[in-house]
Amino acid sequence: MDGLPGLTLFSIGHRSSLKRFHSRHVRVEDGKLIEQAASGAV
């Protein structure tokens, strides 16, 4: 990763069983991260 300055890496899981591990959601809009409350978080 040192050879890739400015890199942004996303890991995305689509399984509903992962919801319990996250208290927030983010989306990328115009190259910026927009944070919002996660529905269904435990």
Report mean pLDDT in 10-residue bins for the chain, 42 residues. Answer: 82 83 83 78 46
How many C-beta atoms lie closer than 10 Å to residue 41's C-beta? 12
* Tokens 């591990």, residue located: 21
The predicted pLDDT at position 16 comes to: 84
Ordered by start, the domain boundaries in the chain are 15-42
* E strand residue ranges, the chain: 24-29, 32-37
In this prediction, residue 41 carries a pLDDT of 46
